[in-house]
Structure 1
Amino acid sequence: MATAESHLLIGIDFGTTFSGVAWAWSERPDEIFVITNWKSNLSKNSDTSKVPTTILYKNGLCTWGYDISLEEEPIQWFKLLLVDEADLQDDICACEQVQQARKVLRRHNKSEIDVVADYLRMLWKHSTEEIKKARGKAGVEGLPCRVVITIPAIWKPNAQERMREAAKRAGILSSPFREADLQLVYEPEAGALSVLADFQERPDIKPGDVFVVCDAGGGTVDIITYKVMGTDPIMLKEIVEGKGRLCGAIFPDKEFENFMKMKVRGKTWQKLSQSSIKSMVNNEWEHGIKRNYDGSDRIFTVSLPTGWTSGRLFHPLDDRKNDISAAQLSITGQRIRAIFGKSISGIRGLVNQQIEEVRKKEKKYPKAILLVGGFGACGYIQSALAKEHAHEGIEVMHPPGGKAWSAICRGAVIKAMTNSGIDTNLNVLISSRISRFNYGHLFMHPFRPGIDRQDDRIFDQVRGIAMATNQMIWYLKKGDDILDTKPVHFNWALTKDEPLSDNSFKLPLMHCESIDAPKRWSKEVKPLCDLVIRLQTPFEKLPMISGKDGKVHREINFEIEMTSTGTSLDFRVFMNGVQVGKSNVLVQYE
């Protein structure tokens, strides 16, 4: 997409529990606007920077977000369905929300990509309508648009590609703009771009400073560490590979609900109205205890809905504890710490791992831990990390007000600006990243007796020698520094006897997470994508070689250029030094 002309920049934070959208205009890039107007059936939510990632299929209609009636049971946590079950924690796969989501999708004959696309379609339509209200119809539909969607740092290529496919099905690339393109960015990277953009011109930020960025969201908590390489503009280098874990806000949310269930007699919980439960959780937990608890022994009170304290709903044992009054339930700080326990433990583990890696590589501690994401605004997370790392001189910082919750979608807009080459006071550049995988492909080499496996041995009729198949060649290794401006090149040659179908051939590319990339194919090596290349030279005009089998073969020599931009791989193909047109190179993901 041409970016010299005026265009819109839109960042989408598609979260497990809540999603947000921000936007800017290329002519005024320093002004980033966050969508805050949502239809709502709950109080305190009509003017907020996030909307629930929930969807309801009923009577042939599709409803989403805050607009779903409190009496309904919408599909939740469906973002997690884009990830292979083998890559999810056992307790997540077995949890009620994920199981219910799969059950509803089967009933409606919808795939995981379908439900994500349906939600994104409604989020996109609402957001673009809000942008039209701000800029006018002509100021939207007449412009091109660059869209950046955030994803967890732990997502593998197949989940990333499903996200891209869902966005396409949602119509994000087709309306209402004249043209649009799409890129993905890791959530903690977007958070870093957002927070550090506010650090521009601060005298205490200098080259060599190290920041650990922790994006604590609803489902995943992602963490990544950057070193400041320059300050005008801020230039960052990833020095510790981004990691993530499913230990976000959904876990204390579930524990709080379980705690309330425990307080209710027998099967009475199932008899309570869904609207009263959801209102109580929203008002007392989501907008109360969860945001205000700081780790102290302070006692909180939960205001109980009308009718909950009548008819002996609560266990007599609880009444003897005197923690239930006429319309309130008291919860001790100790109990709240237990509710947060699993999440805090997971977050501490991620942070400590990053700090230890920084000490090994940089021989010093990070300057600060930057907390972003909705869960990152939780006072308990802030106080727990500050207390643990105070003796190391590490500050714990977070954006003021509601900026922590909207940091990811605002960072996605800044990423869109960077991709567009826009000069802005918000520019924060990532000079290099760490490769999360090994990338390469299968090949064969001359057979080495006593070294290569006998079952890999084949006889090559063209060369007239024994060859070892199932060998791996890696062009980019896990842990390698990846420069945005430095692509990886590799050469390849094929010999063919018969004309190619559609004058095209396929090159399968593989990836592997192992720290030590295997030299031979193994079960750890997974398909990444196929490069389908259509030759511009007629088959009969390709160079000829005479094989040892006495036949004449056609030889295809080409060079692949692979550039990593963080979440995506871009490919260019060259033959005889001339680039093959993009229309003749198709990337097919598994």
Structure 2
Amino acid sequence: MAGSALLVVAFDFGTTYSGYAFSFWDDPLKIQTNQKWIAGSDQLISWKTPTCVLLDRSGQFHSFGYEAENHFATLVEDKEHQEWRLFRRFKMILHNNKDLSRSTTVEDINGKSMPAMTIFTMSIKYLKQHFTEALNKQKTGIVDEDIQYVITVPAIWNDNAKQFMREAAENAGIDKARLKLSFEPEAASIWCQTISTDVKETWSKAGRQYMVIDLGGGTADISVHEKQIDDTLKELHKASGGPWGGTVVDNNYLEWLTKIFGNTTMERFKSEQMEDYFQMLREFEIKKRSINPESKGKFTFRLSASIKELYQESNSLHLEKRIANLGLSGMVTFSSDKLRVDVSVVKQWFETPINSVIEHVQHILAKQNMQTVETVLLVGGFGECKLVQDLIQRELKSKKIIIPEEAGLVVLKGAVRFGHFQDTVRSRVMTHTYGMAIFEDYDEQKHKNAEVDFIDGKKKACNVLKKIIQAGEEVTIGKCVSKGPYTPTDPDETTICVYCTEEMYPEYSTDVGCKHIGTLKVAHANGLSKDDNSLQASFIFGDTELLVKAVNIKTKEEFSTYMDCL
């Protein structure tokens, strides 16, 4: 048991949906989730709510989730939405964004920008407040200092994205000393150790190896683990994946509708009939999970009559004629508020993300050190889709595919358990090579391609990347790599620039693909010379974030900080 928290709460901040779950220290596996978010008048219920933020005319937070969508749709209906701002599905701004910074912006549904940090902070603050109110209804006397917070993040995120999420959480009022980030596929793996069904045999024996495929709204996140004799987990392959989540299917559906009705009609439908637009997306979210490989004939979607009316207002060509011109006669029909589409068309919307996932997974499993991986664990909201499950099972016939109940909640529950038992993961595989940019005495053979400078009269090679740890290398949690001593050139502080690259053998920090991920600044003890302020720098790898420590060699004063990657 890590720490002395009375309870652990985990926030799953997703691209499409968000939610939270928690449990108390005396019964950590009795995990409670919010009892159903209500979508609106149709009483659609969900264990999560849309990741959606509404700001009022003054730019202040108004609401989140279903409430935000519904309120904004009402404002649009009453033509009172001017200057209100709705932000949806903004999490993907963090995925593979090399230029991500504290000043990065996101756009609302009308294309107006706002600092992303502000929107993320508001979202987490809302989830924290919602959880606090729910907790106070069943327990009294628990203060914030009794709570361990966990936020789930994709394992494939870069260091800057993970730091961005951490800072947004801190800005939302979460104490950084009681905040942990949990990798999503790891959380799923951790939770499945608790499954008490026939599949428990898969996880119970030491040495068992399995792959975790976490299919969320925005990304596919893939890891490979091995169960250890002490019940901890060892990562066998570096986390990988891509932007192959369920929102790709949503976007394909919207693009297909645009092909049918035209861009003008779709834009008007979205802006003038927003309640119908949101209802259409919610209904599609439910429908797409029920599509299965045995489905034949036509699949029925509810589609508001208002979209056909808008089409007829601006198009002289009859809708049936347009469908015929697109070569879809007999494959697409309308009946009242129903859109009926041939299943062959619907399945095409899934092809791009699922084919990308399968191709990537097959590439990993074909590697020599992956031959003993027998089982694949499929989780995540998109992983609940029957068609997705079938396609993966067909292409991975030699593997045992396990899909746990409530696959969309597995990550969230696992993150809670991780908060209670933070040493469950023993080791990880580095996704990048890390190094520091330094000056080296110039060597004509070694530094042929280096930039050259003269320092204190000596010829130096510039921007030499002093490797700290290499991509593909296994590191135990908390592994410490020390470098130094470093004698400062500035009397007030030492600045160490850290870089990373996917290459295994980089030479210089200026190499293509090598990026600056952070700068460690350490203030010096007053009154000491530069030599007396020499530092030993230590890098602690293996956790969800890169921790850097620096020790003044003479005074033994210690500094500790997460890398500033923003």
Q: TM-score range by the shorter chain?
A: 0.7 to 0.9
User: Are the aligned partners of 1:148 and 1:182 in contact in 2 as well (CA < 8 Å)?
Assistant: yes
Where 2:396 maps in the other structure, the secondary structure is helix
Task: Choose 193-202 or 215-224, whichever is displaced more.
Answer: 193-202
In the alignment, does 2:86 pair up with 1:74?
A: yes
Name the CA shift for 1:329/1:492 in 2 (closer, same or farther; >3 Å).
same
Cα distance in 1, alignment partners of residues 482 and 41 from structure 2: 55
Aligned residue runs from structure 1 range 204-243, under 5 A: 204-205=202-203, 206-230=205-229, 233=231, 235-243=232-240
Q: 1:193 to 1:102 in 2, by over 3 A?
A: farther
Q: Does structure 2 conserve the Cα–Cα contact (< 8 Å) formed by 1:49 and 1:405?
A: no
Q: How does 1:34-53 map to 2 (within 5 A)?
A: 34-38=33-37, 40-41=39-40, 43-46=42-45, 48-53=46-51
Matched, 1:406 2:402: no
Give distance in 2, aligned partners of 1:154 and 1:87: 16
One-letter amino acid of the counterpart of residue 86, structure 2: P
- Give the percent of matched residue pairs that are identical in Structure 1 and Structure 2: 22
Q: 1:569 is aligned with what amino acid? A: L
Give 1:336's aligned amino acid.
Answer: V
Residue 571 of structure 1 and its aligned partner are, at CA, apart by 2.5
Distance 1:79 1:306 in 2: 32
Choose the corresponding residue for 2:384, options 350, 353, 377.
Answer: 377
The within-5 A match list for 1:103-502 is 103-105=111-113, 110-136=114-140, 138-139=141-142, 141=143, 143-173=145-175, 181-198=178-195, 202-205=200-203, 206-230=205-229, 233=231, 235-264=232-261, 267-272=264-269, 273-283=273-283, 285-288=284-287, 290-298=288-296, 299-305=298-304, 315-317=319-321, 318=323, 321=330, 323-357=333-367, 360-364=368-372, 366-390=373-397, 392=398, 394-400=399-405, 403-419=406-422, 429-453=424-448, 456-461=451-456, 465-494=458-487, 496=489, 500-501=491-492
Q: Once the 2 structures are TM-superposed, how far is the Cα of residue 217 of structure 1 from its aligned partner?
A: 0.7
- Please state how far the C-alpha of 1:323 moved relative to its aligned partner: 2.8
Give the letter for the 1:434 counterpart. V
The whole-number CA distance in structure 1 between the counterparts of 2:282 and 2:443 is 67
Worse-matched range after superposition: 3-12 or 193-202: 193-202
- For residue 75 of structure 1, give the secondary structure of its aligned residue in structure 2: strand
Asked if the contact 1:78/1:101 (under 8 Å) is kept, the reply is no
Distance 1:42 1:251 in 2: 28
What is the CA distance between 1:367 and its match in structure 2? 1.8
Inter-partner Cα distance in structure 1 for 2:253 and 2:382: 15
Identify the range of structure 1 (272-281 vs 471-480) with the bigger mean alpha-carbon deviation.
272-281
CA distance in 1 between partners of 2:536 and 2:508 (Å) = 22
Contact 1:211 1:225 in 2 (8 A): yes
CA distance in 1: counterparts of 2:360 and 2:110, whole angstroms: 29
- Structure 1-normalised TM-score? 0.81
Aligned residue identity for 2:112: V
- TM-score, normalised to structure 2, is 0.85
Q: Is the 8 A contact 1:440 1:510 kept in 2?
A: yes
SS in 2 for 1:517: coil
Q: Which residue of 2 aligns with 1:568?
A: 545
2:501 aligns with 512
Deviates more, 1:186-195 or 1:310-319: 310-319
- Alpha carbons of structure 1 residues 7 and 312: separation in structure 2 relative to 1, 3 Å: closer
1:554 aligns with 2:524: no
Query: Which digits, 9 at most, give the CA deviation of each residue in 1:285-335, with x for residues without a partner?
Result: 2222x1111123423222444566779957124596373334433222211
**What SS is found at the alignment partner of 2:47?**
coil
* Distance in 2, Cα, partners of 1:467 & 1:131: 61
User: In the alignment, is the contact (CA less than 8 A) between 1:573 and 1:579 conserved in 2?
Assistant: no
The secondary structure found in structure 2 opposite 1:589 is coil
In structure 2, C-alpha distance between the alignment counterparts of 1:329 and 1:45, rounded to whole Å: 20
Q: 2: distance between equivalents of 1:193 and 1:187?
A: 10
Could you report, residue by residue, the CA deviation over 1:204-228 in whole angstroms, capped at 9, with x for unpaired residues?
A: 4423322111111111111111122
1:441–1:473 CA contact under 8 A, matched in 2: yes
How far, CA to CA, are the matches of 1:293 and 1:571 in structure 2? 48
Q: Matched residues in 1 for 2:264 and 2:512: separation?
A: 48
How far apart are 1:589 and its partner, in Å? 3.4
* SS state at 2:193 partner: helix
Q: Specify the SS of the correspondent of 2:437.
A: strand
Cα contact 1:510–1:529 (8 A) shared by 2: yes
> Structure 1 residue 417: deviation in Å?
1.2
Measured against aligned partners, the alpha-carbon deviations of 1:232-283 in whole angstroms (never above 9, x if no partner) come to 52x2211111112112111111222333444447844455422223223323
Are 1:42 and 1:279, in contact at CA under 8 Å, matched by a contact in 2?
no
Partner Cα separation in structure 2 for residue 103 and residue 266 of structure 1: 16
Distance in 2 separating the partners of 1:262 and 1:493: 62
Distance in structure 1 (CA, Å) of the matches to 2:39 and 2:164: 29
State the AA in 2 paired with 1:189.
Answer: E
Do the aligned residues in 2 keep the contact of 1:17 with 1:77 (CA within 8 Å)?
yes
Q: Show the counterpart of 2:515.
A: 526
Distance 1:142 1:451 in 2: 56
1:126 positional shift: 1.2
Against the structure 1 CA distance between its residues 259 and 521, is the aligned structure 2 distance closer, same or farther, given a 3 Å change threshold? Answer: closer
Aligned-pair Cα RMSD in Å: 3.2
Pair 1:34–1:59, CA change in 2 (3 A):
same
SS in 2 for 1:103: coil
Match of 1:302, as an amino acid?
A: F
| Cα deviation digits, residues 158-183 of structure 1 (max 9, x gap) | 22221112111222239xxxxx6212
> Which deviates the most, 304-313 or 445-454?
304-313
Equivalent position SS for 2:129:
helix
Secondary structure (helix, strand or coil) at the match of 1:197 reads: coil
Letter in 2 for 1:77: R
| Post-superposition offset of 1:508 | 2.1
**Cα distance in 1, alignment partners of residues 251 and 481 from structure 2:** 46
Q: Which amino acid aligns with 2:289?
A: R
Secondary structure of 1:19's counterpart equals: strand
Q: Is the contact made by 1:150 and 1:185 (CA closer than 8 Å) also made in structure 2?
A: yes
Secondary structure of 1:323's match? Answer: strand
Cα distance change, pair 196–104 in 1 and its aligned pair in 2 (3 A): farther
Letter matched to residue 473 of structure 1: K
Q: Distance in 2 between matches of 1:450 and 1:581?
A: 38
Secondary structure at the counterpart of residue 134 of structure 1: coil
Q: Does the aligned pair in 2 maintain the 1:295–1:333 contact within 8 Å? A: no
Counterparts in 2 of 1:149 and 1:202: CA distance versus 1, 3 Å = same
Give the C-alpha shift of residue 152 in structure 1. 1.8
Instruction: State the shift of 1:414 in Å.
Output: 1.6
> C-alpha separation between the residues in 2 aligned to 1:384 and 1:577?
62
Report the residue type matching 1:158 in the other structure: N
CA distance in 1, matches of 2:291, 2:99: 32
1:330-349 alpha-carbon deviations (Å, 9 max, x no partner) = 22221111111212112212
Is there any run of 5+ residues in structure 2 with no aligned partner, and where?
77-84, 313-317
Q: 1: distance between equivalents of 2:281 and 2:165?
A: 30
SS at match of 1:56: strand
The question of whether the paired residues in 2 share the 8 Å contact of 1:77 and 1:101 is answered with no
Q: Deviation at 1:413?
A: 1.2
> Which ranges in structure 1 are unaligned for 5 or more consecutive residues?
175-179, 422-428, 541-552
Q: 1:348 to 1:131 in 2, by over 3 A?
A: same
Question: What one-letter code is carried by the residue in structure 2 that aligns with 1:560?
Answer: A
Q: Distance in 2 between matches of 1:99 and 1:4?
A: 40
> Is the contact between residue 485 and residue 534 of structure 2 (CA under 8 Å) also seen in structure 1?
yes
**Paired residues of 1:11 and 1:23 also in contact (CA < 8 A):** yes
